Every structure is written in C-alpha cells, then in structure tokens.
Amino acid sequence: MKKTLFLAAAIGFAGLPVNADERVAVIRDDIVKKECGACHMAFQPQFLPASSWRTIMEGLTDHFGEDASLDEETARHITGYLAGNAGRSRGAKTAIRITELGWFVHEHNDEVSPRARKKAGTMANCTACHRGAEKGYYDDD
Amino acid sequence: MKLSFAPLAAALFLTAIAPASAGPDQDSVLTYFQQRADSAASPERGKSLFEARHGGGKPQTPSCTSCHGGTPSETGKTRAGKEIAPMALSRTPQRFSDLKKVEKWFRRNCNSVLGRECTAQEKSDFLAFMMSQ
C-alpha cells in the first residue's frame, strides 16, 4: 500500500487513503452497499474524487451501457455518502473509471497475468482477484 | 364476511399457475400487475419475452438471458462479473416478494434490453413464467 501511495503521489492522480492497518475503509452505509453492490461490488468512495462520483450519479440512466437508475431520494442519499467520503482530486479531468486511473493502470499492467485477467472478465471485477476487496484489503494476494 | 368474485378468481388463477413455491408476497406482487394488464398472465408469453433477442435496447444487452443465464434455473452473471441467483422461484425462493424491488429492476432491465418500459401485461407474463419454474 505504501508503494501505491507513493506512486499515486508521484503520478499525480487521486491517491489512495488507507487506514492505520493499511486497508481502504469499508463502506458503512447499507443503502450504498445494497444499491451500488447489485451488479458489481460496491467500490469504496476513496477510489474517486467527489466530482467523479457526482458525474457518475448524474448519469445512472446510461451507466456504462446500462440503466442503473434510482429514485431521487435514494440517489441523493448515495451521492451524499460517496462525495462525503471521496478521495482527493488531483487530475484535471473527471475520471469515471477507477480502472483507468494512472495508479491503477501502473499497479496492474505488469502484475496481472493474462489468465487472471481473462478469468475476471473485466478489471472492474475487483473481487475476482482481491478476495478481501469488499473488506478493503487489496494487498493480500 | 362477503367474498367478492374477483379476488377469489385471482386466487384460483394464481394457484393454477404458481402452485409450488409462490407465497403470499409473490401472490400479491403478481396480482398487482395482473390487475393492470389486459388479459390473463401467460407463462408461455413470459418465456418468449425472457428468451427473445430484442432490438431497441442497449447493444450490450439484447436479451434478458444476457445476464440471467440461458434458462430460469441457471445462475446468471452481470456484465461486471457478479453472479446473479437463478430467476426461477423454485431455485431462489426470495424472488419477486418485494414490489419496489421488482418495479425497479423491470424499469432498468426493460430499458436496457428493449429501450422502453415493459407493459403491465409483459410484467405479469414474465412473473407468471418465473413463478411456474
């Protein structure tokens, strides 16, 4: 994780805030867990800055090629949680994919075997490779 | 106590199509759509809706089976790689018991697959099919 933090800082993208015990803080909101964890694991808000979460939440009717729309009240609640626990913003442009951030690409390019990648189907399927991802552990493998 | 004919007919009808696993929650969800549909729910039409390749939706998801598996008893998978429990009620007994959840996913998935909302008829056909499986 220290390496990641260093890289993130060096490259200048949103960094990865971690706990003292070196894991990403888990999501503590049941609505976020349920609604944003239905089609993929609910990604921890620290992975993207607030502006990214707002952009994502405004575009739910066409969410990466799918309708993931929510009623207004639920959406407002989720936006509040994600933006309130978001990572710091470093880059100029608003990324909507964690998997396209500089540190992510750097961290995964050489480390991931083609076989593991194929099995996961998509790099957004964090839990396929990081079994502890939902609990915030990413350096356990 | 007076029994009007309509609920009785609906109850008989529900027992006829969803005998094995449907409980009171599923019955009331199906009844909700049935009351808004033009004709009786048809599991056969529900099966075609589930299996067909539709146009008009998003290119990534031409069919309900794109995510829900080829048959109702199969485990499906989202595009992001997460497993979806089988849709057949006999396989996943908690299914179709919460009207708000059912409405939310019909809205999303019909939009993604058909490019429009499903009609009450289509919804009750689909549910009748899954509840008979």
pLDDT in tens, B57-99: 999 899 999 999 999 999 999 999 999 999 999 999 999 999 9
> What is the residue whose two structure tokens read 């060096």?
A10
> What is the residue whose two structure tokens read 């290119």?
B59
Among the listed ranges A40-44, B43-47, B56-60, B127-131, which one has the minimum average pLDDT value? B56-60
Report the distance separating Cα A91 and Cα B58, nearest Å.
31
In a domain, residue B107? The reply is yes
Shortest CA distance from B84: residue in chain A: A39
| Average pLDDT, consecutive stretches of 10 residues, N- to C-terminus, chain A (141 residues) | 42 46 86 98 96 97 95 97 91 85 91 92 96 89 50
Decide if A67 and B78 are in contact by the 8 Å CB cutoff.
Answer: no
Query: pLDDT at position A89, please?
Result: 78
| Beta-strand runs (E) in chain B | 76-77, 83-84
In a domain, residue B14? The reply is no
Shortest CA distance from A66: residue in chain B: B112
| Local structure of A72: helix, strand or coil | helix
pTM of the model: 0.90
Decide if B80 and A40 are in contact by the 8 Å CB cutoff.
Answer: yes
Q: What is the CATH number of the domain that holds B40?
A: 1.10.760.10
| Domain hosting residue A113, numbered range | 2-135
In a domain, residue B70? The reply is yes
Number of folded domains that form chain B: 1
Query: pLDDT at position A93, please?
Result: 75
Query: pLDDT at position B85, please?
Result: 97
In a domain, residue A141? The reply is no
Distances A29 to A72, B54, B60, B82 between C-alpha atoms, Å? 17, 37, 30, 20
Within 8 A of A65 by CB-CB distance, chain B residues are 58-61, 79
Within 8 A of A127 by CB-CB distance, chain B residues are 82
Distances A11 to A18, B18, B92, B118 between C-alpha atoms, Å? 18, 59, 47, 47
In a domain, residue B5? The reply is no
Query: pLDDT at position A5, please?
Result: 45
The pLDDT of B29-46, averaged and rounded, is: 96
| Domain hosting residue B31, numbered range | 22-131
Fill in the amino acid letter for B108.
Answer: R
Distances B88 to B77, B107, B108 between C-alpha atoms, Å? 15, 19, 19
ipTM tops 0.90 = no
CB pairs under 8 A between A and B: 48
Query: pLDDT at position A110, please?
Result: 87
In a domain, residue B58? The reply is yes
Decide if A67 and B108 are in contact by the 8 Å CB cutoff.
Answer: yes
Report the distance separating Cα B1 and Cα B110, nearest Å.
41
Decide if B107 and A61 are in contact by the 8 Å CB cutoff.
Answer: no
In a domain, residue B77? The reply is yes
Decide if B80 and A125 are in contact by the 8 Å CB cutoff.
Answer: yes
Identify the contact set of chain B against chain A, taking CB-CB distances under 8 A.
58-61, 78-82, 104, 107-109, 111-112
Distances A28 to A33, A52, A135, A138, B26 between C-alpha atoms, Å? 8, 20, 11, 18, 31
Distances B110 to A58, B63, B120, B133 between C-alpha atoms, Å? 20, 9, 12, 21
Within 8 A of B59 by CB-CB distance, chain A residues are 65
Shortest CA distance from B59: residue in chain A: A65
In a domain, residue A140? The reply is no
In a domain, residue A80? The reply is yes
In a domain, residue B111? The reply is yes
Nearest-by-Cβ selection for A125 from B59, B81, B109: B81
Residue B20's pLDDT band (boundaries 50, 70, 90)? Answer: low
Query: pLDDT at position A97, please?
Result: 96
Number of folded domains that form chain A: 1
In a domain, residue B16? The reply is no
Nearest-by-Cβ selection for A39 from B58, B60, B82: B82
State pLDDT tens for residues B95-125: 999 999 999 999 999 999 999 999 999 999 9
Residues B14, B18, B23, B29, Cα dihedral to 10° = -60
Report the distance separating Cα A78 and Cα A69, nearest Å.
12
In a domain, residue A70? The reply is yes
